[in-house]
Structure 1
């Protein structure tokens, strides 16, 4: 991307953040609702869909694979599915933009169909590894016909004519690997089994059940799960109400914790236990986060969160918590910078294969704004500077990564000097309307 096409943005300290808001719908649920809706026979309505670029690219892929996908306005979408194994060969490459989730889940769905599809994405997605997804899919009968060096995009995948059920133990805690195998397993006879030594987020299992699949998940070992899916179901259309995304809520939430005198309410945030590692950690640091109006929405726990400015203290974050907050370490590092004492985040290897090398990018974001940090193996150590202690004044390179951009801006709202990011364009991949929403709370962004 040329310098002329960048969209820089700065954040500076001002008054407190106040007000009530609902962040966009959960991205993980939105991707899965579109994919599984397309694999039913009949009509599914989705309300509250996240209309960010990542999810819109998944919607486009479902349309290209033969499902009828309609935007009814106001976050409501209707899908007429083609059934399990019913995808048609797309006429053009499937472009997933910046979305690793959309790309990898659709690879799983396509792997169970006798069609050939080309998978592609932007420059950032083309750098991300796909081999860990393809290994189990090839065991199920799919074939990679063409790929870029290192098992990367663009890639041509031919789905299995007669998919095979497998028992597969994931090499790392990854909802994307697990979900790809389960989506391919829908088209296979018998039982497809996935074993995790560390449980990853379980949205796919919950939504498969919501759409009528026979799936059982049981504890395995100390922290793992054993998931058994009965293949070749006829998935039933089922409406989905998408709750607010906890990963998106994390940004205004931490902003309110570190900007003095702030208090905000975040409406309808999903509190799936496998997604709330950040909230657990922040509470250990002394964060004032109260849950109000708790309820169940489409099988997921939901509540409104009241968040108030808090004096935070450094903590040791165990590696076992990583699967429940892998996308939130960047914004946690910002909170840690404003805490008293040292915060050590352990076992962050997975951050190196996200939209960017998020471990190094997080360290750079803090360093350039005067925060002392260290990386020891896969641990990130942040030396907190206390309330109003972060100097700021730096320009952060976002590396086409939406979460780096938003994390850096939240830091700028509480640092002594403004924080500038080199490009804000990629925020829209997960959080459309972010700047206007934050300004509505009183944030100084320009």
Structure 2
């Protein structure tokens, strides 16, 4: 096999491959076997018809085409490996006219990872928010715990934000009832804004048994974008009564005997959570600094595909309803053009991040162990509330195992360089990132030089 590569631009190449006909010979037997299973020839069981008879039935050209289709991916992969091409997209393949007994020639045009010059990480500048000794956060956690153990108590006063109310709703558009906006015995936390616009404002101040009317614009269903007249009646008003924050509560709500022990434990957890948040902020900030600092061209074809996939996912989520898509854009105060521009900008930045992290992973010789991959699978399975094996099965069914490994490798590569990046908080204090990402091996640094 002979092959050559032509650089079309910094992110795209064209491979030209020529396969001597004799290299096709081993594939003919396999092609005859495959075709024998696909066609029915009287007097022969499927798969047992002789080659000559199959060739007579389908023609020599069909057999040759089958052989080429089978061998072409193999020869393409060999050419990619021979020229050490870092492919990042599926190739556009063009096969010249096939002639029996003559070499097979094809070209493959494909997007590649551009040349990327990695920076001196010590020259980067990254700033993140400082970890706060936040008593307010501790108080909020304790208040949330009290609310979990709170009880709802009926009250005779007018409803106010934070109360739990039971509502009957009835809506009409031009005098016609709207089934989607009609309900009885609906429980709702006043002030949460989780139901239709204008409802909370209409209910505030109403007592049990009282009702009010208001007008709102419907956002879904048969009468989407129409003004509806809504009548709401209050069936009950209840306020949440919270237990006292004392030792008795600590014993009821936790494994601690005193409220001081409970507060100390909550403060410790808040501190740990803030450190995790800071570690995530550091990771994100370093990546953003790398993206902004390192300049290289991003393959337009890969960006185009990412934008198309994102748009397709949005359309699929709304059943391909173009009118609904336009309404969603209008509700968000944007246009189709702005959406597509934002999608393209985001896709270009995401592709750039992947290419950059792949380059770092190669430079750092990053490998993902089986244990690390298993931990990643367990973590993601828990996030999606799935059993690990069920998650793996879905990955395999959608051919996403390779993508998961690639993402794990990129994340590990990013973590491996963070300790070389000087990081400060917004108060000017230097942050020791080794607590989160481990130390940097100076011997490795010397080897790199």
Q: Shorter-normalised TM-score: what interval?
A: under 0.3
Q: TM-score under structure 2 normalisation? A: 0.24
Q: TM-score under structure 1 normalisation? A: 0.24
Larger helix fraction of residues: 2
Larger radius of gyration: 2
